[in-house]
Homo-oligomer: A and B are copies of this chain.
Amino acid sequence: MLPNYALTAIGNAIVDILAPTTPEFISSQAKNGMKPNTMNLISAERAGEIYKLIGPATEASGGSAGNTMACFASFGGKGAYIGKVADDQFGKIFAHDTRAIGVHFESKPLIGGKPTAQSIILVTPDAHRTMNTYLGACTQLTEDDVDESIIANSAITYLEGYLFDEPKAKAAFFKAAELVKKHSRKLSLTLSDPFCVVRYRDEFMALVENHVDILFTNEEELKELTQKSDIEQAIKAIQGKCEIIAVTLGDKGSAIVTNKEIIRIAPIMPSQLVDTTGAGDAYAAGFLFGLTEGKPHPECGRLGSLAASEVISHMGPRPLTPLKNLI
Contacts and interface: CB of A to CB of B under 8 A. Distances in A.
Interface string A157-170: 00000000000000
Interface in A116-140: none
Given A89-B90, A89-B115, A115-B89, A96 B61 contact: no
A59 B60 contact: yes
A57 B90 CA distance: 12
A198 interface: no
A320 B60 CA distance: 16
B56 A59 contact: no
Given A51-B96, A88-B89, A90-B89, A101 B59 contact: no
Chain A's interface size range is: 20 to 34
A58 B59 contact: yes
A318 interface: yes
A93 B61 contact: no
A73 B60 CA distance: 24
- How many copies are assembled? 2
A58 B60 contact: yes
Contacts of A55: 100-101
A61 B318 CA distance: 20
Contacts of A318: 56
Contact of A100 (B54, B88, B90, B93): B54
Between A51, A59, A60, A61, the greatest number of chain B beta carbons within 10 A of the residue's beta carbon is seen for A59
Nearest to A55: B100
B89 A56 contact: no
Contacts of A180: none
15 contacts: A51-B96, A52-B96, A55-B100, A55-B101, A56-B70, A56-B96, A56-B97, A56-B100, A56-B101, A57-B96, A57-B100, A58-B59, A88-B88, A88-B89, A89-B90
Interface of A: 20, 51-52, 54-61, 70, 88-90, 93, 96-97, 100-101, 115, 316, 318, 320
- 8 cross-chain pairs, A with B, having the tightest CB-CB distances, nearest first: A59-B59, A89-B89, A56-B97, A58-B60, A55-B100, A56-B100, A89-B90, A56-B101
